[in-house]
Amino acid sequence: MEKLFNPTPEHAALRRSVRAFAEREVAPQAAEHDREEKFNLPLFRKLASLGLLGLTAEERFGGTEMDATAAVIVHEELAAQDPGFTLAYLAHAFLFVNNLQQNGSEAQRARWLPGACDGSLVGGMCMSEPGAGTDVMGMRTTARRDGDHYVLDGAKMWITNGALDDSTLGDVFLVYAREPHHSPKQLSMFVVEKGTPGFQLGQRIKDKLGMRASGTAELVFDGCRVPAENLVGQGGDAVSHMMRNLEIERLVLAAMSLGIARRCIEVMNGYAQDRRSFGQPLNAFGQIQRHIAESYAEFMAGRAYVYGLAAELGLDRGGTRVDSDGVKLYCSTMAKQVADRAIQVLGGYGYVGEYNVERLWRDAKLIEIGGGTNEAHQKNITRDLSKHGPLR
């Protein structure tokens, strides 16, 4: 299956480079930043030297111009060491950079992508709201045209990279809002920068179960005046932007699940070989063999699904929703179950931080919620399959 997971020499080289970086730089800091709920900004900026912050952006803007398979490789390898840090990377490189690359104007891309690619800007995307998470079309944030500006009012919730520390906003965001004169099924998208009048940090969300190394925040727009040239695309056409970007977001979240599962399998497999009980290594017992074997089989099934979809996904077009929902639905729960088995195999050692699997278990849970809940994926898949006819 090597050609599926590393289809070209460039992909194989990318995996080697990112894995080496993750093991050398990301792994040593993971437990500390999880414990202290701190985002590692200096480490994040080191990703620019590998060309990762602008992985799918054009070279003329400082990007690397790689594909969906490259995106999957990067997220799998980083998440095997620190999923929380990887989530911050995802929000920047895909919810902001890739979205703006695909949907922004020439002037908008020239203005914001170079800084996002070199790490001088930390970006994110604002979609969810306090009363509208999965129900994105129920959002209430409004954008009203006022001369050569738009005025945004409302609040966004659960925003990754919304806060870089307890009091510092992220640098730049793509914000979805509703223009009152458009239909309820239409949304608009705007670039909003830190320092824009009326844009402020509401609260940094702390004491999360997992993904504690990424900064999550509520962001408030109170008479926020945004220049009209910050409107991305045409007013009212942002739903299509959102849906296309959700497909790549769900794919790379599934890839993060692969990284979590792979690391947990490596830990429990090594522990079961080394630890002895009743005079035998743990992996001589059928109960332990079941945990390891089923975890490996499920991981490989998910990995084939993710990389198979990545090979088909075009970053500039939609059309794979049933499977972008499918890979995240399967892999998110698979990773959580594999992490749970790893804790069980390690017993008391799995329940504490030394072997990392308890942190990975906590991090895995978020992927069943963020980027669309598993219940939303079940609804979407069922609805889409009802239109497909016989499966090929």
> 53: which 2 tokens?
């912050």
Catalytic residue, chosen from 76, 193, 247, 249, is: 249
CA distance 288 to 262: 17
CA distance 31 to 387: 46
> 220: which 2 tokens?
């408030």
Residue 105 has φ and ψ, to the nearest 5°, of -80, 170
Question: Is 122 in contact with 90 (CB distance < 8 Å)?
Answer: no
Sign for the CA dihedral angle at 367, 372, 376, 378 comes to negative
Burial class, 239, CB count within 10 angstroms (exposed 0-12 / middle 13-18 / buried 19+): middle
Measure Cα distances from 78 to 30, 47, 56, 166, 325 in Å. 11, 11, 17, 25, 22
CA distance 221 to 270: 50
At residue 234, the 3 state secondary structure works out as coil
Active site residue 249: yes
Question: Is 339 in contact with 261 (CB distance < 8 Å)?
Answer: yes
Question: Is 101 in contact with 207 (CB distance < 8 Å)?
Answer: no
Separation of CA 144 from chain center: 30
Nearest to 271 by CA among 258, 294, 288, 290: 288
CA distance 125 to 113: 14
DSSP-derived secondary structure for 236-253? TBHHHHHHHHHHHHHHHH
CA distance 344 to 52: 35
CA distance 319 to 309: 11
DSSP-derived secondary structure for 55-107? TTS-GGGT-----HHHHHHHHHHHHTT-HHHHHHHHIIIIIIIIHHHHHS-HH
Active site residues: 249
